[in-house]
Structure 1
Amino acid sequence: MSGVKLLGINGSPASRRVEWALKIKGVEYEFIEEDLQNKSQLLLESNPVYKKIPVLLHNGKPIAESLVIIEYIDEVFEGPCILPKDPYDRAIARFWAKFLDEKCLPAVWKALWSQGEEQEEDKKEAYEVLKVLDNELKDKKFFGGDGIGFVDIAANFVGFWIGIVEEATGVVLVTSEKFPNFCAWRNKYLNCDQVKENMPSREMLLGYFKSRVQAVANGPK
């Protein structure tokens, strides 16, 4: 064992990002499944600021926040580069990863779970951020060019999870008519062996989100 532990959740996009980076580098690690309803003392001590997963422990030292962890892994461990080597390209990759986390994911998630008139407004916001991604992917196979890189790993929610949540909720955000470049990227992404190896069971996630939909439907009227 290399002295690497990952505190996370099997079905979490953020946890899966980190596992993907560790596998690219060929790093052996121990995965410790957390229960967010009963957080372990190790998690609370390792990430006292946010108290959330994922947290990487390397020789006992904690690193939190998935994108920060991936950069740490890329710098510390031998193996294929995850971020581009060129400083400008690295900065651009960081920009798009930040956009995915801070603008895209919240807008899409909100649109998928809101209802009624509120949902129509939320969909408009989601469409705006998805259009930005669609434009960025014009004439590109992946965000980083011909191969999967840092931004594609960061985009695992919109690449994999979003379709599952759409199926569970019955809310359709992404169509090839609206976002042809994004859909072309997603099709390549989902058919990539690297992606298939680093995502949780689709059936497991679909069952989980369907149960959430049912819980909302059976909630207070």
Structure 2
Amino acid sequence: MALEKYIDHTNLRPTATVDDIEKLCKEALEHNFYAVCVNGCHVSSAKENLSGSPVKVAAVIGFPLGAMSTKAKICEALDCCKNGADEIDMVINIGWLKSRLYDSVREEITAIKGAIGDNVLKVIIETCYLTDSEKETACILAVEAGADFVKTSTGFGTGGATLEDVKLMKNIVGDKAEIKASGGVKDKASAQQYIDLGVSRIGTSSGPSLIK
């Protein structure tokens, strides 16, 4: 598969303007990226800008901290889907995970997946804040909850994707879920390394330069 089909072209900056999102979508169309990834307030405009194209719209929820209530995350996810999001990238409740409230973490993911139905759910585990054991547990819980993807990072934490974390995640999820690497993937060589490890999607704000 061509490299561009792995890319979720991303702009999640709090300062992103309407013009910035329009530019993001134009670049996604020009380069035939798989999806754009935006904050919820930009879903409608992204969908409009991409109308008639195969480029998907992914929206983040519970972003970037993951500490909102489950009810709030569900409402956010439903609103994004109503406005045209094809995929939802949710942040887990990191504090719950570190408190070993595993049932709560699993139930939240299950509830969001149940609410969005056939829409793709990616679960951001924010690896930079977790021990290896916690990363493994997060992946297990996401799979048990029916998530479609596990995702390394928000890009707003203290670190992004690493090859070591993707290897660990792949070892846990196997073929039960796909993997998205995000945060700090800025060049073609790095992207290819992640793909070689079994990543299905790469979240990056450097899509156009990455494929050159």
TM-score, normalised by the number of residues in structure 1: 0.29
More strand, by proportion: 2
Higher helix share: 1
Bigger-Rg structure (1/2): 1
